[in-house]
A and B are shown apart, each in its own frame.
Chain A
Amino acid sequence: MAQAFTKAMARNIFYGGTVFFFLLFLALTFQTHSALPDRDNRQAINDTVALGKKVWEDNDCIGCHTLLGEGAYFAPELGNVYKRFGSTDAIKAFISSRPKDGIPGRRSMPQFNLSDEELTAIAEFLKYVSGINSANWPPSNQG
């Protein structure tokens, strides 16, 4: 053999392998989609939850908190905050009672001045997220 291996073969494996595994990825994505209705708590989605997600995004909550473990690691996990706090009222009370100038020397959550409707919506959104089947994650209630 003149050469142990050739560039042409390396190229073929690159193209073939990429297409192969991308198609496999699409097949698994398809499986995922068919499994989601039983897991993602979509029946709980309504206009309030949709507004809640908008409030969540418009205030960049993910910039400090994690949601199902994704986000920033500066403040507590909120995917299970509904379970940790026990009610939507407790969530609303916590958010609306943040002091405007923070707590001296400590990490503080800003006062976002949310309307009552927005407060309800964000709490309902977090309640909806807590209903997602996250394969028993997080390991402890503390997030």
Chain B
Amino acid sequence: MKYESQKVAKLYFTAAIGLFVGQILFGLILGAQYVIGDFLFPEIPFNVARMVHTNLLIVWLLFGFMGAAYYLVPEEAETELFAPWLAKLMFWIFLAAGAATVLGYLLVPYATLAEVTMNDLLPTMGREFLEQPTITKLGIVVVALAFLFNIGMTILKGRKTVVNLVLLMGLTGLAVFFLFSFYNPVNVVMDKYYWWWVVHLWVEGVWELILGSILAFILIKTTGVDREVIEKWLYIIIAMTLITGIIGTGHHYYWIGTPEFWQWWGSIFSAMEPIPFFMMTVYAFNMVNKRRRNHPNKAAVLWALGTAVMAFLGAGVWGFLHTLAPVNYYTHGTQITAAHGHMAFYGAYVMIVLSMISYSMPMMRGREACNSARAQSMEMWSFWLMTISIIFITLFLTGAGILQVYLQRFSDNPMPFMVVQEKIALFYWLREITGFVFLLGLVLYIASFFVGKNEPEATVELAK
């Protein structure tokens, strides 16, 4: 860490981890409700718990991205952050808005929340992932603008590196496409069409720019490979991402009333979406193999390599499984989608944020380069526990999905939804149990921040 103002990232990362815990706890509640239907009913109905689960995920990832940006941008630009006070102010505003929104979900019925936040003036609520009250959405826009201003000004006054530019483009895209969440016509097809401009163009578009630039930063720092080489590959990977991903949006336009040419355009382009993820895996391993030095923060390197692999598996392979229109005809809106969603979000976005935290947190907490060997070892245990858990969760949901597709849609006598759900309950039980293992991994992860504090830093020799 070279600049004092980078430390503002610590706030963001701390909040991110806290909200991550909340997300997982609500995930466990949801998993339980899948098998014990009346669990916590009617106090916390499924839809409320799900809103909390998904919204916390989005918010903590945004905290993570912002924290990563506040840490990375000054270092790359070789200058102090333009306005650290603004970063701190926006942190508290964002945290307060997020907390108030989640409390709103939990404490009053959703319809009441819609009423008191005057949703009727500009109705934007009640759509998947965009459940936040309109006023919260406006708050997000304000926070995002202030954040972009702060980051943009820092880059403007300092050195302009590719990592910074790509990150800035990704974050700007994130803010721009979020604006489509304010468009909500009565026409359901139009509503859905532009809803995907937020959701798809985020996770399969601009977020991948953010992911790519953070990964590039960590690789530059930990491997010592020439910046030119890493930046070149970064450009190629994000070029492939957007070339395939923009038209790839079409894989959401098969069955929602949009014209049928999308079945072709969507299938062809989205089938190529795994290519950039595959390139990212090859590139990450290549760079680590070509490393000029051994970085003592072994845990951070593990997270970074893990991101590359799991993003390819979750987003690439599991996405490809059901992206072709003839397959998607049967799998659309089943547990297959849920399986893909879990591994893709964990592999691509959760892991990149945790990589960045792993790399930067020791330095912000006063270490020279990394944590003690004991803390790192515990962190790596948590890596394996969480990663293997998510793989099994994905496999169980995939199993559930295949059976669901067969019983409910493919067989000669399709069965009703609820009957099928009971027949596949075994998979849901296994998923829930695995969820607890994931929680254990998360507990270890947090514990790793508190062990070995008084022990010396790991050295390269020890870390080998």
Contacts and interface: CB of A to CB of B under 8 A. Distances in A.
A90 to B, nearest CB: 15
B247 A70 contact: no
A100 B422 CA distance: 23
Contacts, number: 233
Contacts of B255: 68-69, 134-135, 137-138
- A-B pairs, top 10 by smallest CB distance, nearest first, are A63-B47, A57-B126, A69-B333, A107-B37, A140-B414, A137-B255, A10-B235, A14-B239, A40-B189, A76-B417
Contacts of B236: 10, 13-14
Given A60-B51, A135-B263, A7 B409 contact: no
Interface string B110-146: 1100110001100101111001000000000000000
Contact of A72 (B36, B128, B253): B128
16 contacts: A10-B236, A18-B246, A39-B258, A60-B110, A60-B125, A68-B333, A70-B256, A71-B128, A74-B50, A75-B46, A102-B42, A104-B38, A139-B410, A141-B414, A142-B414, A142-B416
Contacts of B42: 100-102, 108, 110-111
Contact of B418 (A18, A45, A71, A107): A107
A126 B437 CA distance: 40
Nearest to B253: A32
Given A67-B188, A140-B409, A25 B247 contact: yes
B3 interface: no
A49 to B, nearest CB: 7
Interface stretch (B283-291, B334-342, B448-456): B334-342
| Most chain A beta-carbon neighbours within 10 Å: one of B120, B246, B253 | B246
B418 A66 contact: no
Given A7-B228, A58-B119, A73-B335, 20 more contacts: A13-B236, A13-B239, A14-B236, A21-B247, A28-B262, A57-B123, A57-B125, A59-B126, A62-B127, A68-B333, A70-B256, A72-B50, A73-B338, A74-B50, A102-B41, A110-B41, A132-B189, A132-B256, A135-B263, A143-B408
A59 B239 CA distance: 41
B417 A77 contact: yes
B235 A58 contact: no
B16 to A, nearest CB: 24
Interface residues of B, number: 77
Interface of B: 33-34, 36-38, 41-42, 45-48, 50-51, 110-111, 114-115, 119-120, 123, 125-128, 131, 162, 186-190, 192-193, 228, 231-233, 235-236, 238-239, 242-243, 246-247, 249-250, 253-263, 265, 329-330, 332-335, 337-338, 408-410, 414-418, 420-421
A35 interface: yes
A54 interface: yes
Contact of A69 (B47, B131, B186, B332): B332
Given A28-B250, A69-B332, A134-B256, A56 B408 contact: no
A50 interface: yes
A66 B128 CA distance: 10
A32 B253 CA distance: 10
Chain A interface bracket (under 10, 10 to 19, 20 to 34, 35 or more):
35 or more
Contacts of B261: 28, 31
Contacts of B120: 54
A11 B235 contact: yes
A132 B193 CA distance: 14
Contacts of B126: 56-62
Interface in A104-131: 104-108, 110-112, 128-129
B125 A107 contact: no
Contacts of B233: 10
Contacts of A20: 243
Contact of A40 (B162, B242, B257): B257
Contact of A70 (B128, B246, B265): B128
B238 A139 contact: no
Nearest to A66: B333
Nearest to A7: B232
Given A108-B38, A112-B111, A132 B188 contact: yes
Contacts of A110: 41-42, 45
A61 to B, nearest CB: 7
